[in-house]
Amino acid sequence: MTDGHLPYLIAAYGLVWLGVLLYAVGLGRRNRKLEREVDELRGLLDRTGEGRPQP
């Protein structure tokens, strides 16, 4: 076995880091989108609540 197998080593570590990075970036984006959605819905709920007649 020789250093000729180096591309396999690079491919294995590269693939792991690419896979983890893509998943983490996707998860971060999903969380930010959901946070924005929660804020928007809370704002909408506040406005809806204000628009309702007080008991």
Partner 1 sequence: MIVSRLADRLIPPVTVVAMLAALYLVFVAVPSDAYQGPVQRIFYVHMAMWLDTFTAFGIVGAASFLYLWQRTGRWDRLGRAAAELGLLFCSLGLATGSIWAKPIWGTWWTWDPRLTLTLILWMIYAAYLLLRDLAAEPGQGAVLAAILGVSGVVDLYLINRAVYWWRGIHPAVIATREGGSGLNDPLMRLTLAACLVAFFLLFLWLLRLRLQAQRLQDSVDDLRAVLAGHS
Give CA–CA dist 27/24, Å, rounded. Answer: 5
35 to 2, 16, 31, 43, 55: CA distances (angstroms):
51, 28, 6, 12, 32
Residues numbered 9-48 forming contacts with partner 1, rule: CB under 8 A: 9, 11-13, 15-16, 19-20, 23-24, 27-28, 30-31, 34-35, 37-38, 41-42, 44-45, 48
Contacts with partner 1 by CB under 8 A lie at 1-3, 5-6, 8-9, 11-13, 15-16, 19-20, 23-24, 27-28, 30-31, 34-35, 37-38, 41-42, 44-45, 48-49, 52
